[in-house]
A and B are shown apart, each in its own frame.
Chain A
């Protein structure tokens, strides 16, 4: 029997690790790295959500870049578009006093009236919820990888629409997105003095979502999703509404991507069309695969690390190619991701040093040539 860790311990360790990073970076006089690290943490949220779809519900989404962009652009458009010109419309007059709008100054110091970031956030979530249901509902009632095709097409459409629309800034994207005062003295902003605070906001959000998903995959819902992934027919016959569960998972994961998009956009004060591109979506899939798909920890770690390397420019102009290659490599060489075989190797090496009578009881079981697939669910 493996000794059971205290359930909360890994999270405490992760929180501690996240907490000492700024301190280390300050010591090393590399505080500027926090900016890219914060961005990587937001991207990791997208991949974490995708991990639920791919590793648990057994579906592939090639449109998560688009959901990120829907979140980001909805926020960006609403919080930068000046609505004061409509103030004369009587039915809009009251809005000025409501918490939905804030009066502020634009980049050039002109007074403008825009939708407040919180209201824009909820609008982004609502829009994503509707769109994800519209895409997922027809695709997930069928078996097989219809979702991959539907989301691929959807992602392309979103990308082209953003590029072709004036109020989304076309190829330039949107700049001048204001900071987002979350309340409790926290502000999502890329301003220098707020660098550490924002790193903790991103880290805290990631940690929070990680805890929620961790609880989820260890519950009746998580088991149901794994059952669907394994044998959809049997899952259905055991009383699981497979179509609904796949849809809920997909929508949840799209909402996570959009949420990351909203935070990211306020943090970087803008968003560009490349966020919606197919390369970004493929990158998320590659990162989920690299993290082991169903391993929440592996996915979080891998995604943060590789995105950070990419944002620091370590892959140079081959950035997209690196992630494409990563995906090909994983699919063909290590379908469960590189971490699991590595962990097994370490365990085997450790086992070789152990006295033979300490063998695992499970290993001694006859297995009648009916070797099972390796366990994926050790999230």
Chain B
């Protein structure tokens, strides 16, 4: 059974139809990519899946639950986490605290318990810290734990965001252009990292413009154009799809050749 099932979803901003009756599935353990030109609706699709936008129509199932209309925090609790196209760290906190926020939905002490440090709460707090530290080690940034998030380099921000998302123990991880703004070496690291995350049993839905990375990593690819699905298949099927090459890949290849 599919882990994520998006069924006939539609979303418009005013008159602009950003997602036009899109359906697809993500199988457990898969790395699936969503590609398409700028403005195709990829980020909008992510926002719908993680609950930040409510679709005008259509249904979304995650595991055996219908999650259409759920609030983002409920969807995060259900096991979907994400990173953002523009890194969205909490800049007033340090790196470790950012990752600790990711543990929020897996921990339970509320206002009163935290205020009086009820027996058990300090222990949970220590566990949060430990888990966050472990997550930072996992992405190789343990040495930056105490660094203010605002002082990080761009690539480091992306990695901290990944650590924060992983700290929520997701079953499904949405990565919105994790490679943009990274240099070649960082991109290679990112590719390895995404594979390692998948090996942990996390299913991945990826939006990315770097075709080398996409073709290299993906088990399946979904192509969006003007909010509509125009193709879906394995990397080799997509590379040989005349329609896709015309609207998207052709342009991308030219870009690559020009730069």
Contacts and interface: CB of A to CB of B under 8 A. Distances in A.
Given A227-B101, A231-B90, A236-B52, A375 B148 contact: yes
Contact of A237 (B76, B97, B116, B149): B76
Contacts of A240: 73, 101, 104-105
A234 interface: yes
A165 interface: no
A85 interface: no
Contacts of A248: 110-111
A120 B74 CA distance: 39
Most-contacted residue by chain B among A219, A222, A231, A241 (CB, 10 A): A219
A151 B243 CA distance: 57
Interface in A202-254: 212-213, 215-216, 219-224, 226-227, 229-231, 233-242, 248, 252
A370 interface: yes
Contacts of A222: 114
Interface stretch (A22-30, A64-72, A311-319, A359-367): A359-367
Nearest to B78: A239
B77 interface: yes
Contacts of B97: 223, 226
A376 B151 contact: no
B24 interface: no
A373 interface: yes
A372 B147 CA distance: 11
Contacts of B93: 223, 226-227, 230, 375, 377
Contacts of A230: 90-93
Contacts of B101: 223-224, 227, 235, 238, 240
A110 interface: no
Q: How many A residues touch the partner, as a band?
A: 35 or more
Contacts of A376: 92
A117 B91 CA distance: 46
Interface string A346-378: 000000000000000010011110111101110
B81 interface: yes
Nearest to A229: B92
A214 to B, nearest CB: 9
Given A238-B102, A239-B104, A241-B71, A215 B92 contact: no
Contacts of B77: 239
A237 B170 CA distance: 12
Contacts of A223: 93, 97, 100-101, 104
B125 A219 contact: yes
A223 B77 CA distance: 17
Contact of A370 (B72, B106, B111, B154): B154
Nearest to B168: A239
Nearest to B91: A372
Contacts of B105: 238-240
B31 interface: no
Given A237-B82, A238-B168, A362-B147, A213 B73 contact: no
Contacts of A367: 150-151, 153
B15 to A, nearest CB: 24
A215 B114 contact: yes
B252 to A, nearest CB: 27
B4 to A, nearest CB: 16
A366 B156 CA distance: 12
B117 interface: yes
Contacts of A236: 52, 71-73
Contact of B115 (A212, A224, A227, A234): A212
B73 to A, nearest CB: 5
B228 interface: no
Contacts of A365: 147, 151
27 contacts: A1-B146, A215-B115, A215-B117, A216-B115, A221-B109, A221-B110, A221-B111, A224-B104, A226-B92, A227-B101, A229-B92, A231-B88, A235-B90, A236-B71, A237-B73, A237-B82, A238-B102, A238-B168, A239-B102, A240-B105, A362-B151, A365-B151, A367-B150, A370-B152, A372-B148, A375-B92, A375-B93
Interface of B: 50-52, 71-73, 76-77, 81-82, 84, 88-94, 97, 100-107, 109-111, 114-117, 121, 124-125, 128, 146-154, 157, 164-165, 168
Given A223-B104, A252-B111, 20 more contacts: A212-B116, A219-B121, A221-B109, A223-B93, A230-B90, A230-B91, A233-B72, A235-B90, A235-B101, A236-B71, A237-B51, A238-B102, A239-B102, A239-B105, A239-B168, A367-B150, A368-B153, A372-B92, A372-B148, A376-B92
